[in-house]
Amino acid sequence: MTNSCSFRITRTAEDLAQTVTAISQRLVKLEQRIDALELQSAESKDVQSDEEINMLDGVDLLLEECKGLLNNSSNETESDEIWVEESIENDDIAA
- What is the number of other CB atoms lying within 10 angstroms of the CB of residue 48? 13
| DSSP one-letter string for 36-54 | HHHHHHHHH-SPPPHHHHH
Tell me the torsion sign for CA atoms 23, 24, 25, 27. positive
The more confidently predicted of residues 3 and 17 is 17
Is residue 27 predicted with pLDDT exceeding 90? Answer: yes
Mean pLDDT for 45-72 is 81
Q: Where are the domains of the chain?
A: 2-80
> What are the tens digits of pLDDT across the range 60-81?
888 888 888 888 876 665 555 5
> CA–CA separation, 2 vs 4, rounded Å?
6
Amino acid at 52: E
Is residue 56 predicted with pLDDT exceeding 90? Answer: no
